[in-house]
């Protein structure tokens, strides 16, 4: 028989390498192994392919040992990684780097370091009745015999003999933590020969119970659930378009329960897990121990335990996580739910692979043979178009559940308020009155402002000077709590200036306003009200965040001021007024998605008002009251927004009528960058003609001292994306070899947002 080789993927931006498989080492594709790379370095690698083809290399190294008793990747995960690497134009190694928790893939400069980095599972004592006490009657008799002399021991022995078999491990052993006793009592039982005790890896016991306690669906919800079920054969993906409070989550739970009961796994993706504690609690109330919450705030140890637990599992798991949960091993994946599918945080933008989690969910599900439910009150135009084109199933829920009614949305014209002298401290009279009414009857208020800090910049009234970051091309934001000027791009801070360094004027004016300034203004307008602020500056830890949310939930605070953070996933029952302090910067941005985004954000903010019986009020302050987006928001007219936006996107072949790829070029040398970008764009134009745009400078074109230019490529639907990627790979190869420009870094963002 010919010799066996393994192609191994390493967590590097490199292709897979071939290693020889020593006789006697049993390997499967997807296994994790320790392999040597370079002179001494030891990495964790993934066995990608086993074959008998003699590699070209002179010396072929041998695979080291296998790291886990199960493969780290199942078959559909491997196909998923391959798709990612191809579509997002990166290597399998880069996917590996991102997809696996760090402790799962130890590495080291030598064997000892590797061993030190390896994951060692937490263990705990498991105990069982000794062989000679296996007979239940014998134990019962023994208990009677010793009961008088040692009542506690008899009781414990009885408890062990009668312990619920479903809560034991596979070997029939009982985890000690589930018994009410201490180590000394266990040691005594063991010494007396009643029981055996083994130290074993701690495993999560999953309850086998499938009697989930779900509320009954309303008639409207039932109709939608039936649509989703009955379209399953025709459409693997279903878009559930339902307004906030219509019960989308209840419908998810209905399908989750079905899937779990049938032994399948479910992946529930949420935009930002830190902001969804309410949803996780709700899921845990119903699905209990089936729930695994997975996100970047977990410790490396916990993430690794979760990963390995799932790799061992044979179904019945509910994973709730942010986009990174897509990479967990789910061996019987049958349902993927993407909540708030329009949310832009599904896109990973900062590091390769720059993947879109929602799109990936659809691909992963099709590879695993699972179904997908995409849910949103304001679907992305991409998903909406797919539904219209018949690619996705589509259902709609247009009424809130129960008595709760949609809020009344009022546009408050800031210009007019100023003219009439009805504006105080960033608040128009309409908003002040609505807040006063709400607070007067013990209700709560949420205020949304999409900038944090006190003011985005300070300007000299004499010469117009503004204070800028020395490393980035932006103005510094003033923060009142820390009394510092801060760069929101690189974190640079400086003292608040007292006078203008250019003309020595002391009259520096704060321009614009952020959440801090609103918090201060509220305190002046409503001195009795208790105000809290939720933004990146106040929620530096999960516990700080939880405290702010809990205080507002319990009514300990009356007014919550915040950024986007307050718009997501909350269900506060006492909020009757929501104020948007300035909608102008949402609707007037030059981005082709700005109308869609503004509609989504404002609708979502508005959805926080009046989630119970009383009708809520939303006041949107703007000086662009005639802007069509605001009209659609007020009327809740998603269809009109979609019609108008899709027509425009079609006219300019923007997504969903095309795919956009963004090339970002960076260098500390501005001249070099300019020349190199011009060259790269010219080479691209030779291949793609007028589909190439740029190079152009992004709004902030210098960050941390590095200059940035961008080139965009637009590939219309119907054109071959894979052919485009092929040409691009050639070009990137050429750029990497180029004598003059190879020091410029180029990153690619496929389906940029």
Binding site for Zn ion (CB under 5 A): 460, 462-463, 465, 469, 471-472, 487, 489-490, 492, 500, 502-503, 505
> Pick from Zn ion, ligand ADP, none: which does 463 bind, CB < 5 to 8 A by kind?
Zn ion
Give yes or no for a contact between 730 and 639, defined as CB atoms under 8 angstroms apart.
Answer: no
* Least distance between Zn ion and beta carbon 457 (Å): 13
- 8-state DSSP, 63: P
Measure Cα distances from 236 to 89, 370, 396, 659 in Å. 26, 8, 17, 23
Q: How far is the CB of 336 from ligand ADP (least distance, A)?
A: 17
Task: Please check whether residue 342 is in contact with residue 304, taking contact to mean a CB–CB distance below 8 angstroms.
Answer: no
> Closer to ligand ADP at the Cβ: 477 or 600?
600
Interaction partner, residue 537 (ligand ADP, Zn ion, none; CB < 5-8 Å by kind): none
Residue 249 binding target from ligand ADP, Zn ion, none, CB below 5 to 8 Å by type? ligand ADP
What torsion, rounded to 10 degrees, do the Cα atoms 340, 342, 345, 350 define? 160
What residues line the site for ligand ADP (CB under 6 A)? 215-218, 221, 242, 244-250, 401, 571
Report the residue number, 249 or 664, with the smaller CB distance to ligand ADP. 249
| Angstrom distance (rounded) from CA 4 to CA 536 | 53
Residue 365 CB, nearest approach to Zn ion (Å):
41
460 binds, among ligand ADP, Zn ion, none (CB under 5 to 8 A by kind): Zn ion
Smallest distance from ligand ADP to CB 259, Å: 18
Q: Shortest approach of ligand ADP to residue 244 CB, angstroms?
A: 5
CA distances from 362 to 91, 370, 451, 481, 676 (A): 21, 9, 33, 44, 37
Name the residue nearer to ligand ADP (CB basis): 273 or 431.
273
Distance in Å, CB of 656 to ligand ADP, minimum:
24
SS (HEC) of 184-212 = HHHHHHHHCCCEEEEEEECCCCCCCCCCC
Distance between CA atoms of residues 526 and 11, nearest Å: 56
* DSSP-based three-state secondary structure for 33: strand
Cα atoms in the 13 Å half-sphere on the side-chain side of 116: 6
Nearer to Zn ion, 212 or 489 (CB): 489
**Distance (Å) of CA 167 to CA 160, 204, 206, 289, 443:** 12, 10, 8, 12, 46
Q: Which is nearer to Zn ion, 504 or 740 (CB)?
A: 504
Phi-psi sector, 421: left (phi>0), alpha (psi -120 to 50), beta? left
| Residue that has been written with the tokens 């609690």 in this structure | 281
Q: How far is the CB of 507 from Zn ion (least distance, A)?
A: 9
Task: Look at residue 502 and give the partner it binds from Zn ion, ligand ADP, none, a contact being a CB closer than 5 to 8 Å depending on partner kind.
Answer: Zn ion
Per partner kind, with CB cut-offs from 5 to 8 A, the member of ligand ADP, Zn ion, none near residue 469 is: Zn ion
Q: How far is CA 462 from the centre of its chain?
A: 46
Output the smallest distance, CB 725 to Zn ion, in A.
Answer: 34
From the list Zn ion, ligand ADP, none, partner contacted by residue 200 (C-beta under 5 to 8 A by kind): none
**Closest CB to ligand ADP among 45 and 242?**
242
Considering the complex, state which of residue 128 and residue 217 has its C-beta at the smaller distance from ligand ADP: 217
CA distance 664 to 710: 5
- Residue among 246 and 538 whose Cβ is closer to ligand ADP: 246
Residue 244 touches which of Zn ion, ligand ADP, none (CB < 5 to 8 A by kind)? ligand ADP
Alpha-carbon torsion angle 133, 139, 141, 142, nearest 10: 70
């Amino acid at each position: 028989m010919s010799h066996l080789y393994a192609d191994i993927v390493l967590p590097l931006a490199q292709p897979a390498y071939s290693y020889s498989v020593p006789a006697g080492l049993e390997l499967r594709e997807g296994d994790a192994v320790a392999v040597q790379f370079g002179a001494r370095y030891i990495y964790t690698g993934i066995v990608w392919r086993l074959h008998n083809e003699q590699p070209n290399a002179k010396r072929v190294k041998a695979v080291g040992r296998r790291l886990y008793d199960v493969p780290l990747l199942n078959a559909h995960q491997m196909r998923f990684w391959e798709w990612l690497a191809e579509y997002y134009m990166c290597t399998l190694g880069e996917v590996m780097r991102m997809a696996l928790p760090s402790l799962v893939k130890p590495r080291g400069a030598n064997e000892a370091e590797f061993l030190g980095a390896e994951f060692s599972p937490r263990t705990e004592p498991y105990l069982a009745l000794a062989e000679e006490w296996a007979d239940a009657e014998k134990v019962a008799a023994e208990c009677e015999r010793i009961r008088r002399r040692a009542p506690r021991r008899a009781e414990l022995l009885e408890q062990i003999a009668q312990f619920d078999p479903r809560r034991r491990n596979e070997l029939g052993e009982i985890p000690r933590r589930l018994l009410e006793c201490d180590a000394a009592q266990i040691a005594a039982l063991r010494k007396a020969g009643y029981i055996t005790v083994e130290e074993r890896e701690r495993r999560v016991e999953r309850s086998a119970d499938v009697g989930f306690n779900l509320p009954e669906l309303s008639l409207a919800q039932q109709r939608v659930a039936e649509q989703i079920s009955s379209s399953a054969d025709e459409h693997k993906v279903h878009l559930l378009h339902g307004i906030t409070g219509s019960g989308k989550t209840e419908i998810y739970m209905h399908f989750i329960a079905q899937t779990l009961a049938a032994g399948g796994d479910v992946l529930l993706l949420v935009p930002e897990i830190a902001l969804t504690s309410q949803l996780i609690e709700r899921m845990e109330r119903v699905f209990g121990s089936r729930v695994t919450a997975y996100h970047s705030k977990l410790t490396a140890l916990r993430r690794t335990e979760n990963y390995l637990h799932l790799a061992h599992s044979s179904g019945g798991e509910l994973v709730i996580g942010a986009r990174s949960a897509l990479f967990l091993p789910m061996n019987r994946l049958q349902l993927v739910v993407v909540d708030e599918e329009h949310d832009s945080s599904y896109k990973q933008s900062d590091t390769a692979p720059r993947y879109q989690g929602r799109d990936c969910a659809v691909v992963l599900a099709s590879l695993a043979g699972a179904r997908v439910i995409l849910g949103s009150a304001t679907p992305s135009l991409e998903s909406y178009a797919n539904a219209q084109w018949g690619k996705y199933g589509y259902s709609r829920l247009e009424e809130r559940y129960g008595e709760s009614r949609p809020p009344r949305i009022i546009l408050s014209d800031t210009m007019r308020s100023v003219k009439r002298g009805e504006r105080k401290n960033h608040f128009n009279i309409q908003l002040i009155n609505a807040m006063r009414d709400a607070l007067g009857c013990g209700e709560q208020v949420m205020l949304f402002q999409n900038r944090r800090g006190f003011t985005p910049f300070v300007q000299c009234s004499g010469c117009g000077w503004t204070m800028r970051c020395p490393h980035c091309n932006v103005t510094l934001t003033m923060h009142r709590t820390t009394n510092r000027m801060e760069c929101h791009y690189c974190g640079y801070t400086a003292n608040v200036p007292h006078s203008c360094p250019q003309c020595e004027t002391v009259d520096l004016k704060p321009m614009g306003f952020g959440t801090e300034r609103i918090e201060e203004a509220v305190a002046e307008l409503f001195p009795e009200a208790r105000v809290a602020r939720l933004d990146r500056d106040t929620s530096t830890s999960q516990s700080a965040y939880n405290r702010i949310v809990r205080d507002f939930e319990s009514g300990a605070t009356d007014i919550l001021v915040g950024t986007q953070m307050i718009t997501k996933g909350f269900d506060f029952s006492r909020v009757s007024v929501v104020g948007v302090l300035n909608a102008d910067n949402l609707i007037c941005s030059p981005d082709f998605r700005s109308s869609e985004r503004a509609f989504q954000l404002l609708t979502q903010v508005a959805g926080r008002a009046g989630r119970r019986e009383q009708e809520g009020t939303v006041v949107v302050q703007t000086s662009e009251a005639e802007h069509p987006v605001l009209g659609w928001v007020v009327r809740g007219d998603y269809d009109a927004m979609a019609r108008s936006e899709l027509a425009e996107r079609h006219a300019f072949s923007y997504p969903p009528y095309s795919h956009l790829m963004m090339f970002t070029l960076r260098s500390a040398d501005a001249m070099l960058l300019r020349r190199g970008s011009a060259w790269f764009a010219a080479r691209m134009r030779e291949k793609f003609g007028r589909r190439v745009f740029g190079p152009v400078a992004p709004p902030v074109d210098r960050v941390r001292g590095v200059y940035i230019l961008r080139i965009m490529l637009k590939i219309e639907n119907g054109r071959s994306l894979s052919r485009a990627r092929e040409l691009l790979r050639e070009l990137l190869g050429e750029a990497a070899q180029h004598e003059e420009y190879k020091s410029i870094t180029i990153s690619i963002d496929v389906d940029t947002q």
